[in-house]
Amino acid sequence: MAISHLESMPLELLLDNLLMIMPIESVLQLASTNKFFATLCADELLWQRRLKADFNFSDAGTARTSGWRFIYRNIYNPKGGSTPLITVRTKNLFVQSDQSSSGGTDPSPICCAHRAFSRTQNSNRENANGRLGLGNKPRKRIGGSGVPFPTRLRIPGVRIVNLNTGGMSFHALDSEGRVWVWGNAVFLYLISFVDQSRRAGTLNGQIGALNSDGFSEPGKAAPTPLRLDLPSRITEVRCGRLHSLALDAKSQVWNFVNWGRPFVLSSNHLLHDSKPVQVECGWNFSSLLTKSGEIFVWWPLSGRMAEQIGSKNAEMDETKEAKANASDGAIPCVPWTLEVSDLDRLPPLPHLPTLADTGDDPDERDQLKIIKIAAMDAHLIALTKHGHVVLFRGLESEETLRSLGAWTYLPHFSELNSVRETPPFAASNDSTTGPGIAAPQTLKITHNKSVISVLVGDWHYAALTETGRLFTWGGYSSGALGLGDPMKIPAGAPGGFTTEEARLQAQERGFGTPQNTTQAVPTEVRFDHGRKTPKNRFCLAASASGWQTGALVIDLQVSYRYHWLIDAQSFI
C-alpha cells in the first residue's frame, strides 16, 4: 500500500490497529518517511501500549504521562547488544535491606526492576535466608549494621519490568510474565528495613523451615532469585507483609501465603462483566477492583479463609510432589483453586459532592465509579472516575469490616479549591481543614520536581520523579535511605550521624549506625556508588516497604542492563 494511501486512513485505525501489530522496526522505518508519520509514530500513548504488549511493562503504579518511547528504546535496543532479552540496558535492579544485629536470622533483601539496590541491618545475618538475593557470597563490609548504598543483583537472561517488596522478600515480574522471588515474600522494594523478628528469604520470616522442606512451607528461604513455575502469564504483582497477590492475563487472581502452593481465588461474584482489573495487598488483607467498580476484600492469613487454606495444605502434605522443592532455578508450584461463595464486598460509596472544573460530562456526574485503589494497614483508598478520593476504614479483620467499616471522603485531595489552599499552591502557608480531617502536608524540597510516585516503608519514604531521580527521607533504618556509609557522611547531613561526636565514636569502635531519627530532607540517591567517576543512571521505577527499598534503573551510558542489589549483611 502506498504511503499516500496510508495517510488517508483514520488515525484511530493506524494507532489502535496497524501500528500496534507492526514489527517495531517497521514502525521506525515508517516514522522516517515524512513529517506526518514521524509525528504519528511519536505518539506517547502508542509507546505506552507497545510497552505493555511487547514487554509486559505498564508502570500503572505511577503518574507518568510521558517518556514512554525513551523507556521502550532502552528496553528494546541495548547499546551494542545483540540479544535484547539478555542485553537490554534499561532494566537494572537495586536493592537495600536491613536487619538488626541481634535476635533473628532474617536478612531483608530489596530489589527493583532494572537496577535494584538493597540494604540490611544485621552484621552477619542481613542476607540470612537470601533476603537480598545475593546468596551467601561474602561482600565488602562496612562498620555498622546495614548496607546503606545500592548493590547490583543479577538475574542472567531475564528482562525485569516490575519490582515489588513485601515484609521479608522481593517479587519481580519479567517481560515474559514470569515471577521471580527471593528473600521473604513481603519485601519487594528498592530500599527497605527489616526488624529483628524477620527472617530473610522467605514468604513468612516469622517461622522457620528445615533444609529438607520445600516451598510449600512459608518459612522456606530463597537465598537467590527463583522463578515461580506458574501456568499463566502474570501481568501484575502486589505484596503485603506476609502474603502476595498476582493478576494474570486471564484476569485470574493468584494468592500466595507460601511460594509453592499458590491458589486461584474463585467466586460467583467475579463475573465476566465484573472481572478483576486491579489487585492490591494491605498489611494483612487482600483486595481487588472489578471492571464495574466494585471492591472485594479477604484475609488469607486469618479467619475462615485461613482455615480453608490450612485444611487444603494438610491434604496436600500427603503428596511428596506438593512440597515444591526448588530445581534448576525454579519453584515447581502446585496450584489449586479456592472456592469462596461469600467474598466480602465493600459497601457502596456515600453521597459525594459534584466536583467543579473537572471537564466531566454533566450527564455522567451522577455515575460514581471507582477506577483505582491502594491498600495500607487496615485501610484502603479509592479514586473515582470524577476525581473523588475516599478512604475506607476497618479492614483489620472480617469482624471489624462489619462493625467498623465505613467510607470517609477526603476533600483536600479531591476539590480544587481545597488543593489551592494547600502549600505550595496557596498564597500563604495557612490551610483550612474540615472536622476531623487533617490537611495534606507538603515537603518544599519536592516542589517542581515532577514527582510521579511516592513510596512508604516502616520509617522511611521515597519519591520518584519523571526525570528518573529518586529521593529518600525519614528514618535511617539501617541504611534503607541508600545515601551512603554514615561513617563517611558529614555529621548532620542526610543519612549520617546527628553529631560529629557520635560519628567519631562509631568510627573508633568500628561499628555503629545513626539513631533512627526522622530525616525530613528528601535527598537524591546515587546509583553509582564505588565508582571513581560519576555515572548517569535513570530510575524507572521504585518500591519500598518495611525497612527496604528497591528500584529499576536504566544505565544511560553502558550498553547492557544490570540488576543491582544492596546487601546490608554482607557489608557488616
Query: Which set of grid coordinates corresponds to residue 538?
Result: 535513570
Confidence of residue 192 (pLDDT cuts 50, 70, 90): very low
Cα(136)–Cα(72) distance, integer angstroms = 35
- pLDDT at position 137 is 44
* Residue 246 belongs to a domain: no
- CATH number for position 48: 1.20.1280
Amino acid at 458: D
> Does residue 179 fall inside a structural domain?
no
Residue 84 has pLDDT above 70, yes or no: no
pLDDT of residue 532: 84
Number of structural domains, the chain? 1
Pairwise pLDDT comparison (358 vs 11), residue with the higher score? 11
Which position has the grid cell 547492557?
560
CA distance 415 to 63: 19
Determine how many CB atoms are found less than 10 A away from the CB of residue 345.
13
Q: Considering only CA atoms, which of 466, 572, 489, 563 is closest in space to residue 110?
A: 563
Interval 185-201 mean pLDDT: 32
In sequence order, what are the beta bridge partners of 147? none
Residue 303, number of CB atoms within 10 A of its CB: 13
What is the pLDDT averaged over residues 15-38? 94
In a domain, 79, yes or no: yes
* pLDDT reported for residue 437: 61
Q: How far is CA 216 from CA 170, 259, 332, in A?
A: 17, 6, 10
Average pLDDT over residues 18-47: 94
Task: Enumerate the β-bridge partners of residue 370.
Answer: 384
In this predicted structure, the answer to whether residue 302 has a pLDDT above a threshold of 80 is yes
User: Using 50, 70 and 90 to split pLDDT, how confident is the model at 155?
Assistant: confident
State yes or no: pLDDT of 91 exceeds 50.
no
Q: What is the β-pairing status of strands 330-331 and 226-228? A: parallel
452-474 pLDDT per residue, tens? 999 998 888 999 999 999 999 98
Could you report the per-residue pLDDT of 55-75, keeping only the tens digit for each? 999 888 888 999 999 999 888
Question: What pLDDT is stored for residue 104 in this prediction?
Answer: 32
Q: What is the mean pLDDT of residues 244-249?
A: 97
Q: Mean pLDDT across the stretch 272-295?
A: 93
Range of the domain at 73: 3-87
CA atoms within 13 A on the CB side of 388: 20
280 occurs within a structural domain = no
| Domain assignment of residue 57, yes or no | yes
Q: Is the pLDDT of residue 22 over 90?
A: yes
Is residue 35 a part of any domain in this protein?
yes
Q: Are the CB atoms for 96 and 479 separated by under 8 Å?
A: yes
Alpha-carbon distances of 140 from 14, 143, 401, 461, 568, rounded to whole Å: 54, 10, 48, 26, 10
Is residue 468 a part of any domain in this protein?
A: no
- 544-569 residue pLDDT tens: 988 888 898 988 764 434 333 333 22
Is 331 exposed, middle or buried, given 0-12, 13-18 or 19+ CB atoms closer than 10 A? buried
Mean pLDDT of 294-306: 96
pLDDT at 201 over 90: no
| Confidence label for 518 from pLDDT (cuts 50, 70 and 90) | low
Q: How many CB atoms lie within 10 A of CB 288?
A: 26
pLDDT confidence of 77, banded at 50, 70, 90?
Answer: low
Query: How far is Cα 266 from Cα 281, in angstroms, rounded to an integer?
Result: 18
Average pLDDT over all residues of the chain:
78
Mean pLDDT in residue range 202-224: 72
**Average pLDDT value for residue range 40-50:** 95
Cis peptide before 424 (omega within 30 of 0): yes
pLDDT at 106 over 50: no
C-alpha 17/C-alpha 21 separation (Å) is 7
User: Following CA atoms 265, 266, 267, 272 in sequence, which dihedral angle do they give, to the nearest 10 degrees?
Assistant: 110
Q: Given 3-state DSSP classes, what are the helix, strand and coil percentages for the chain, each rounded to the nearest 5?
A: 20, 25, 55
- Cβ contact 177:234 at 8 Å: yes
- What is the CA angle 81-86-92, rounded to 5? 100
The pLDDT of 418-446, averaged and rounded, is: 61
What is the spatial distance between Cα 250 and Cα 233, in angstroms, rounded to a whole number?
8
Mean pLDDT for 214-230 is 90
CA distances to 121, 205, 338, 458 from 185, rounded to whole Å, are 18, 9, 21, 16
